Structure 1
């Protein structure tokens, strides 16, 4: 595992870098990272993370396809936002999922840090789904995941991975502002087009 973790870190950094730039290569690089971490987390007995990364495999493939064809007329997908009500529902789902998964892991397995691990699992699934939809708010969920994950992996002596998530935290913050700028630019162009249409 000693040599696999740095390799997974490199692919994870590439994945986030490409994601910030809305580059489709974020999905294949992310897929490699996910497969490597399935093994790494199994050895570390972070079972919620193992389950999470199995689901990630499907989400990576879905996101890859959706970014390419999910826009109007099957064009590339633009950045969009969710409503305040939807955001509240996602947060409630994360809270309920963390409680349920954490309790199950604590009762039925020898999982380390079951509730913190459960939070990163459930919140990451929500963040990854929103990212596959290219929702701006996905970055807020990643920021929360990164903060908790740094502590979890540091305690489990996965120092490369803890360091990776510290970098992820910075990149997620940068990603939010980059995507927000893209969203604002699209809105300005849309309004300019509408104003031009109305004046003809």
Structure 2
């Protein structure tokens, strides 16, 4: 019934599928709306997570596939937090990441990369096990930071997106690589816009 979603086609000289195109579009809309602090970005994030879970399963990037489940549930959480996570259940403002969390983030990143990478490498036919796991761990952290509206989430995404572009080109997910180049530009824009909002609210 849905075989047409996986039919190979060429878009601007890049091999892709309708499924990947839909993932591209919903992902770009999601991140753009997030840079604008528009809560509807989380709605598109939910759709995007479902689409890309299927894309990554097909190319054996299992850590990235599992990450989409996390994106699905944190998108619901982020939607609620942005609307009601502020004082007196009001809209959540942009804030700086509490310093006490940096140690936690570092520990989570190292542990998740090593453990997940080992398990994928040892028990599955996963491709690029440790790189995929490291980028997955960074994405786990960045997504949670975004749901909490911590400004520095965009710095995490900038670093991750640079690496994702290279990995997806290597795996012949050319349109997805282009999408992550767009994400990279949007992350830089998001950082600047959220920083301005933080400075404005501090006045």
Please give the root-mean-square deviation of Cα atoms over the aligned residues, in Å.
1.0
**Retained in 1: the 8 A contact 2:45–2:71?**
no
TM-score, normalised relative to structure 2: 0.90
TM-score, normalised relative to structure 1: 0.91
Secondary structure at the aligned position of 2:185 is classed as helix
How far off its partner does 1:83 sit? 2.7
Whole-angstrom CA distance in 2 between matches of 1:66 and 1:169: 24
Identify the residue that residue 134 of structure 2 maps to in structure 1.
119
**Structure 2: runs of 5 or more not aligned:** 1-5, 7-16
Identify the residue that residue 80 of structure 1 maps to in structure 2.
95
Which one of the candidate residues 66, 71, 85 is aligned to 1:51?
66
Matched, 1:176 2:191: yes
Whole-angstrom CA distance in 1 between matches of 2:107 and 2:184: 23
**Structure 1: runs of 5 or more not aligned:** 189-200
Whole-angstrom CA distance in 1 between matches of 2:174 and 2:134: 20
How far off its partner does 1:103 sit? 1.2
Number of matched pairs: 188
Runs of at least 4 residues off by over 3 Å: none
Larger radius of gyration: 1
Superposed CA offset, 1:123-181 (max 9, x none): 11110001000000111111121011111111110000000001111110111111011
Identify the residue that residue 89 of structure 1 maps to in structure 2.
104
Matched, 1:141 2:166: no
Secondary structure at the aligned position of 1:134 is classed as coil
Q: How does 1:188-199 map to 2 (within 5 A)?
A: 188=203
Identify the residue that residue 166 of structure 2 maps to in structure 1.
151
